[in-house]
Amino acid sequence: MPPTSSSIESSGEEQRFRLLVQSITDYAIYMLDPTGVVITWNPGARRFKGYERDEILGQHFSRFYTDEDRASGLPARALAIAEGEGRFEQEGWRVRKDGTRMWAHVVIDPIRGRSGQLLGFAKITRDISDKKEAQEKLRLSEERFRLLVKGIKDYAIYMLDPLGRVTNWNAGAEEFKGYTEAEIVGEHFSRFYTEEDREAGLPARALATAQREGRFAMEGWRVRKDGRRFWADVVIDPIRDAQGGLLGYAKITRDVTERRNAQLALQDAQARFLQSQKLEMIGQLTGGVAHDFNNLLAVVLGNLDLMRRRPGLDDRFNHLIENSIEAAKRGASLTQRMLAFARRQELKTEAVDVPDLVRGLGDMLQRSIGPRIHISTHFPLVLRPALADPNQLELALLNLAVNARDAMPEGGAIAISAEELALDVADADGTAPGRYLCLRVQDDGHGMDAETLARAVEPFFTTKGVGKGTGLGLSMAHGFATQSGGRLRLRSAPGVGTTAELLLPAGSRVPRPAPTPEPNSATEQTGPLRILVVDDDNLVLANTSAMLEDLGHEVLEASSGEQALRILRRDDGLGLLVTDHLMPGMTGAQLIQTVQAQWPDLPIVLATGYADLEQGAAPSAQRLMKPFMQQDLAASISAAVRARQPCV
């Protein structure tokens, strides 16, 4: 019987389907009979499995399964599920002909006849080992990352849901915050913030900023479970899905309290260094101004002193001259304070019994302070002496007491005390190790704020108002203490009062020798002398010469050290040299060194108010502090001449 058109079409369709299946190489597509025996095989199956068509047809498909899967009956279950449910799908290990394994995606569909009888199974397998490997790598990576995050202790790393509730917790978070994972998961992260930050709405603003700008970062105080605070560096990043939806937030926190403390300490050290530099520069300027002012005052005082000695002046002119001298002396006291701040004041250091010095100043202190201030003193029974200039120590103590008085306009109390301090290492304010005598002046006045306290020792800085203070009291005490090898410490706060401490090097516990009586210039006079006066300031030179001539001496003048040496070489009848120290070219100390080498018996007076002499310079010269009066000059001449006279 010839074939019909329909049978021809059916045969052509089957041929095309067969060609389609046979051309596929990315999938293993083959058929099983109802018992699981392979009855067809395509090139894709040959590529994946490694079997040729003749090798596998008639073999049971279970040979593609691992021994473990065959032992568990997986091949039979797969066919049963496909027959019963109409489909079996799975991923799992399969075995190639050479014994190697591949990760396969498997689909088994039952094939039935028109009457529904089972004809066999269609099996499609794809080798997805690459996908499996990528998934495994991803899983391992995620697992390693999870373990990494969980194991980090230097950072608190955890997640928040979109509302700010904690969803996970790492070891660092437990270390910093003090909460275990069981205690904190599900709680709102705002509990880590201070009460002030919560009231200000900072937690909500942090999440809003992270969501809006893609990141929130700041440093601030955070609170541990036990209530203690720590300084934290915080970063919050939003976490979004592929469509941009907000899943929550990643929060990283680090405890940087130690770093912050180190930064603050460094800033404090830098501020102290800058303040020290500032004071040093101010000191240099102040010292130079004070030196020049000293010279001017020397001329004024000297001329006034000569004028008042002239006979025939009426009482009115004498009164005016005396007032002028008193004003000039006040100016000289001002320059002494400036020089003390600049640490260029001549100091005569000796062992000072501080309790005796304070008791000796008792009446003067009370008169200076006034009746509305009560002064009390507290000293131990045994106390080392302070190594300092007693006159400058008295002045520093008076300045501190007057400052304390001005801080108590309504009256109050001042306590003066002393104690010994031993520093084994350098103090925070730079005080060198050693043993010190601490003289303390404490008041209960209005105190100083931090800004005022920082500037308290600057010269001319004052809060007393115009005309009520020079601003040199504390600066003088500061300069005196520093030049003496110690330190001035100030502690103060508004409403608490101020404590000023003068730290001075402590001496040994030995009695202080009785002071040698100063020569009385009114009774001790020398005969007329030929005196060489050296000073680069013409006004000072003329004034000193006038004083000497008024005393009956013959005077030669020189305006420099070089000129003085030329005069000395041609005039062998000189009986005394009076020289300034700070001069251009050759200083007074250098001139004295040259003179003593060539004319060792010549008496010398060094007139200076500027203590910048090199260590040990001009040790045998008689010192005369500027500004000076005629009687001071006469006393220095007598002392210099007497020192050069041979002992009998």
Question: Any idea what the CATH number is for the domain that residue 179 is in?
Answer: 3.30.450.20
143 domain-assigned: no
pLDDT in tens, 77-103: 999 999 999 999 999 999 999 999 999
Does 88 fall in a domain?
A: yes
- Note whether residue 512 is domain-resident: no
Domain identity same for 484 and 625: no
* Bridge partner list, 490: 500
Q: What is the pLDDT of residues 474-504, one digit of tens each?
A: 777 777 788 788 888 888 888 888 999 999 9
Q: What is the pLDDT of residue 470?
A: 47
Beta strands in 224-285 (DSSP E): 229-240, 246-255
**Percentage of the chain lying above the pLDDT 90 cut:** 30
Do 64 and 97 lie in a common domain?
Answer: yes
pLDDT in tens, 25-82: 678 888 999 999 999 898 888 888 889 989 999 999 999 999 999 999 999 999 999 9
Does 19 map to a domain?
yes
Q: Is residue 114 located within the same domain as residue 236?
A: no
Q: Based on the domain organization, do 313 and 331 belong to the same domain? A: yes
Decide which of 332 and 503 is more confident.
503
- Residue 135 or residue 422, greater confidence: 422
Neighbours of 559 (CB within 10 A): 16
Specify the CATH number for the domain of residue 365.
3.30.565.10
In whole angstroms, give the CA distance from residue 111 to residue 124: 13
pLDDT digits (tens, 9 = 90+) for 436-466: 999 999 998 888 888 877 777 765 556 554 4
Do residues 223 and 309 both lie within one domain?
Answer: no
Q: What is the total count of domains within the chain? A: 5
For residues 360 and 500, state if they share a domain: yes
Query: Is the domain of 357 the same as that of 464?
Result: yes
Check residue 189 and give its pLDDT: 93
Q: Are residues 356 and 414 in the same domain?
A: yes
pLDDT reading at 511 higher than 70: no
Residue 153: band (very low, low, confident or very high) from pLDDT cuts 50, 70, 90: low
Task: Give percent of the chain above pLDDT 70.
Answer: 75
- Beta-carbon neighbour count of residue 581 at 10 Å? 27
Mean pLDDT value of segment 559-576: 90
Between 265 and 469, whose confidence is greater?
265
Q: How many CB atoms lie within 10 A of CB 77?
A: 13
The last residue of one of the domains, among 89, 114, 129, is 129
Mean pLDDT of 414-437: 83
Q: Is residue 263 part of a domain?
A: no
CATH of the domain at 590: 3.40.50.2300
Whether residue 146 lies inside any domain: the answer is: no
Flag whether 484 is in a domain: yes
Residues comprising the chain, all counted: 648
Distance CA 222, CA 124 (A): 60
Strands 434-443 and 497-505: antiparallel
pLDDT of residue 67: 93
Give CA–CA dist 560/577, Å, rounded: 13
* Three-class SS of 546-593: HHHHHCCCEEEEECCHHHHHHHHHHCCCCCEEEEECCCCCCCHHHHHH
Whether this model's pTM surpasses 0.75: no
20 and 116 share a domain?
yes
Which of 291, 320, 342 marks a domain boundary? Answer: 342
Domain hosting residue 333, numbered range: 277-342
pLDDT at 610: 57
pLDDT: which is higher, 378 or 478: 378
Is residue 523 in a domain? no
- pLDDT exceeds cutoff 60 at 339: no
Domain boundary among 220, 255, 290: 255
Q: Give 265 or 6, the one with higher predicted confidence.
A: 265
Statement to judge: residues 221 and 287 lie in one domain: no
Average confidence (pLDDT) over 610-625: 65
pLDDT at 472 over 80: no
> Rounded to 5 degrees, what are φ and ψ at 551?
-80, -5
> Quick one: 367 and 478 in the same domain?
yes
Reply yes or no on whether the pLDDT at 405 is more than 70: yes
Average pLDDT on 365-383 reads 85
**Averaged pLDDT of the chain:** 80
Q: Are strands 604-608 and 622-625 parallel, antiparallel or unpaired?
A: parallel
Residue 309 has pLDDT above 50, yes or no: yes
Across 135-139, 521-525, 526-530, least confident range: 521-525
Q: What is the number of other CB atoms lying within 10 angstroms of the CB of residue 22?
A: 14
Identify the pLDDT of residue 520. 44
| Mean of pLDDT values over 255-280 | 76
Q: What is the pLDDT of residue 518?
A: 47
pLDDT at 362: 79
Lowest model confidence (mean pLDDT) among 44-58, 241-255, 289-303: 289-303
- Is residue 14 over pLDDT 60? no
Q: What is the pLDDT, as a whole number, of residue 198?
A: 93
25-39, 192-206, 293-307: least confidently modelled range: 293-307
pLDDT for the residue numbered 73: 94
* pLDDT band with cut points at 50, 70 and 90 for residue 6: very low
Same domain, 82 and 169: no
At 496 the pLDDT is 85
Please check the confidence at residue 370 and state whether its pLDDT lies above 70. yes
